[in-house]
């Protein structure tokens, strides 16, 4: 499989290079040049299979010969053996034809673990084969950071630097990043919002001399392998509910558009999906864009669903590339306009193509709290605030005849104060995470300035380009 950039001006790469690259060198995001196709029999055969077996089938064609199948299988088996639920991503029925796809049974209690547990292993494998080290950077609004640190802590070939908005993540999220004691872990609290953190990460990738000096790698969903691992659970859920003989809809709590883009990839590979619904909090740039055709940045408002407090949604660029027929120059034009004026318009044809696959809705703070309270009262199911946004938005898109799957993106115990205030129930952390709440914290507070962050990383990353 070959990968090319959404902006069409970066080198075409194989999987193992895409895995280590992060952002493409033209500022774009890598996409596979074609979508592997699964026929109806193959999709039907996923029902009832162990999660890791489906993962191998879905992931294999994207990896090509870059990793031998026995090694790939071993990494997949190991990645999902550590999940607390035997089904890895179980479906729980909460209404007549409504289901929550629980994606939070991994080590850090958020959907990010599903991809990150595999990504950490695959990166380590490829770095070892190539005899290299890497400096990993990631921007987080709360969950990617903890999941990435968990996946890379103590790994000999990588140093990991996670940038998060100071004071804008939950206590549990912050402690997941600040309490690991391994020397290769660095939690950087930036005085800004998530968009500032993400812009600095992209700035580092676009600063080629720095990027090459420290052998920069990225673990945000700008990295294709993150999206790839997330495609799997759409197939698993779809097949469990009757695909390919029955269509399913998915509502996805959305911020950086990575999770829902994985759903779109599943559609391109043959999964029959009625609609993919984008659910946002009041930072509703994506819902507005689908309504108006105009992508327009506004200031980020802090909410009780902090992981979705995002205005610049990286993976939307991947969708723009798809619906523009992979026309790199048109994607570049829109991204340049966004950089210059904070907005761009989508042409009629591509917009119609988007609307054929996607719906959208928003959920404000009171609605989020009311959905947590109501779902606890009516179904005895405790939602985290992000999943609650999905449940609220899904209600406006259900038609009763098509199963609606809401992606359960985080465990309620990551946001105990919000959940307790709304429902009266304080969710408990699993026993193995409780110690973290009293452990010593280690973090570095920095200004949200590219050169200050680069200076810190360059001083603390081990000789990243050295062969080991
Ligand atoms: C709990 C939670 N829900 C939803 C999202 C949004 O997912 P995405 O950024 O892939 O759209 C995030 C952050 O990414 C998250 O941490
Ligand atoms: N909500 C995310 C934001 C980063 O998203 P990513 O999927 O691109 O890593 C977070 O929790 O950090």
254 C-alpha to center of ligand 1: Å? 5
Strand partners, 137: 161, 218
Distance CA 193, CA 195 (A): 6
User: Within 10 Å of residue 440's Cβ, how many Cβ atoms?
Assistant: 7
User: Cα–Cα distances in Å, from 394 out to 204, 260, 274, 349?
Assistant: 37, 14, 13, 26
198 C-alpha to center of ligand 1: Å? 14
Residues with a CB atom less than 6 Å from ligand 2 = 140-145, 220-221, 255-256, 258, 307, 314
Question: Strand (E) positions, 342-453?
Answer: 343-345, 358-362, 404-408, 444-447
Regarding an ipTM greater than 0.90, the answer is: yes
267 C-alpha to center of ligand 2: Å? 22
| 51-63 vs 224-240: helix crossing angle, rounded to 10 | 140
Question: What is the number of the ligand 1 atom nearest to the C-alpha of 414?
Answer: 1
* CB of 309 closer than 6 angstroms to any ligand 1 atom: no
145 C-alpha to center of ligand 1: Å? 12
* CB of 143 closer than 6 angstroms to any ligand 1 atom: yes
187 C-alpha to center of ligand 1: Å? 19
The pTM score is: 0.97
468 residues of the chain, pLDDT tens digit each: 999 999 999 999 999 999 999 899 999 999 999 999 999 999 999 999 999 999 999 999 999 999 999 999 999 999 999 999 999 999 999 999 999 999 999 999 999 999 999 999 999 999 999 999 999 999 999 999 999 999 999 999 999 999 999 999 999 999 999 999 999 999 999 999 999 999 999 999 999 999 999 999 999 999 999 999 999 999 999 999 999 999 999 999 999 999 999 999 999 999 999 999 999 999 999 999 999 999 999 999 999 999 999 999 999 999 999 999 999 999 999 999 999 999 999 999 999 999 999 999 999 999 999 999 999 999 999 999 999 999 999 999 998 899 999 999 999 999 999 999 999 999 999 999 999 999 999 999 999 999 999 999 999 998 445 433
Contacts of 204 (CB under 8 A, 6+ apart): 137, 210, 211, 216, 450, 453, 454, 457
Pairing type for strands 294-296 and 358-362 reads unpaired
Q: Please report the DSSP string for 64-120 in residue order.
A: TTSS-HHHHHHHHHHHHHTSSSTTSS-EEEEETTEEEEE---STTSBTHHHHHHHHH
Give the 3-state secondary structure of residue 4: strand
Question: What is the number of the ligand 1 atom nearest to the C-alpha of 254?
Answer: 11
Distance CA 265, CA 251 (A): 15
Which residue of 307, 312, 409 sits with most ligand 2 atoms within 8 Å of its CB, as the best mutation to test the pocket?
A: 307
Ligand nearest the Cα atom of residue 148: 2
Question: What is the number of the ligand 2 atom nearest to the C-alpha of 145?
Answer: 12
The domain 86-109+225-423: what is its CATH number?
3.40.50.1100
Joined together, the tokens standing for residue 226 give: 């993150």
Residues with a catalytic annotation lie at 112
* CB of 145 closer than 6 angstroms to any ligand 1 atom: no
Where do the structural domains in the chain lie, given as residue ranges? Answer: 86-109+225-423
Task: Identify the helix (H) or strand (E) that includes residue 338.
Answer: helix 328-341
Give the 3-state secondary structure of residue 298: coil
Ligand nearest the Cα atom of residue 194: 2
């Amino acid at each position: 499989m070959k990968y090319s950039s959404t902006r069409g001006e970066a080198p075409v790469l194989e999987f193992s290079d895409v895995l280590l690259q992060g952002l493409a060198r033209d500022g774009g995001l890598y996409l596979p040049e074609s979508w592997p196709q699964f026929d109806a029999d193959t999709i039907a055969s996923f029902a009832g299979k162990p999660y890791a077996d489906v993962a191998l089938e879905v992931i294999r064609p994207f990896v090509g010969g870059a990793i031998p199948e026995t090694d790939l299988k071993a990494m997949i088996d190991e990645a999902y053996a550590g999940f607390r639920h035997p089904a890895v991503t179980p479906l729980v029925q909460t209404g007549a034809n409504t289901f929550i796809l629980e994606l939070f049974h991994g080590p850090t209690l958020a959907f990010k673990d599903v991809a990150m547990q595999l990504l950490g292993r695959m990166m380590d494998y490829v770095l070892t084969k190539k005899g290299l080290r890497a400096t990993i950077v990631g921007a987080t609004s709360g969950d990617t950071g903890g999941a990435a640190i968990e996946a890379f802590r103590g790994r000999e070939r990588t140093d990991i630097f996670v940038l998060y908005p100071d004071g804008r993540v939950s206590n549990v999220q912050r402690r997941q990043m600040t309490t690991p004691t391994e020397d290769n872990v660095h939690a950087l609290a930036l005085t800004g919002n998530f968009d500032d953190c993400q812009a600095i990460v992209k700035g580092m990738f676009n600063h080629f001399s720095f990027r090459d000096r420290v052998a920069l790698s990225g673990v945000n969903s700008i990295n294709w392998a993150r999206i790839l691992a997330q495609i799997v659970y759409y197939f698993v859920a779809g097949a469990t509910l009757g695909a390919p003989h029955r269509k399913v809809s998915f509502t996805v709590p959305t911020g950086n558009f990575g999770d829902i883009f994985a759903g779109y990839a599943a559609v391109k590979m043959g999964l029959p999906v009625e609609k993919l619904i984008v659910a946002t909090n009041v930072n509703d740039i994506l819902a507005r864009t689908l309504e108006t055709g105009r992508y327009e940045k506004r200031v980020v408002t802090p909410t009780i669903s902090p992981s979705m407090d995002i205005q610049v949604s990286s993976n939307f660029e991947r969708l723009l590339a798809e619906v523009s027929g992979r026309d790199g120059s048109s994607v570049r034009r829109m991204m340049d306009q966004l950089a210059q004026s904070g907005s761009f318009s989508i042409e009629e044809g591509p917009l119609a193509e988007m609307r054929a696959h996607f719906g959208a809705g928003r959920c404000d703070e009171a609605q989020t709290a009311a959905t947590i309270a109501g779902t606890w009262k009516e179904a005895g199911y405790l939602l985290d605030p992000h999943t609650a946004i999905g449940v609220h938005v899904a209600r406006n898109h259900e038609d009763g005849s098509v199963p609606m799957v809401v992606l359960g993106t985080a465990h309620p115990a990551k946001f105990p104060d919000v959940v307790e205030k709304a429902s009266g129930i304080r969710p408990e952390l699993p026993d193995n995470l409780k110690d973290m709440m009293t452990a010593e914290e280690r973090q570095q507070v920095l200004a949200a300035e590219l050169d200050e962050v680069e200076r810190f990383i360059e001083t603390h990353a081990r000789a990243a380009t050295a062969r080991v």
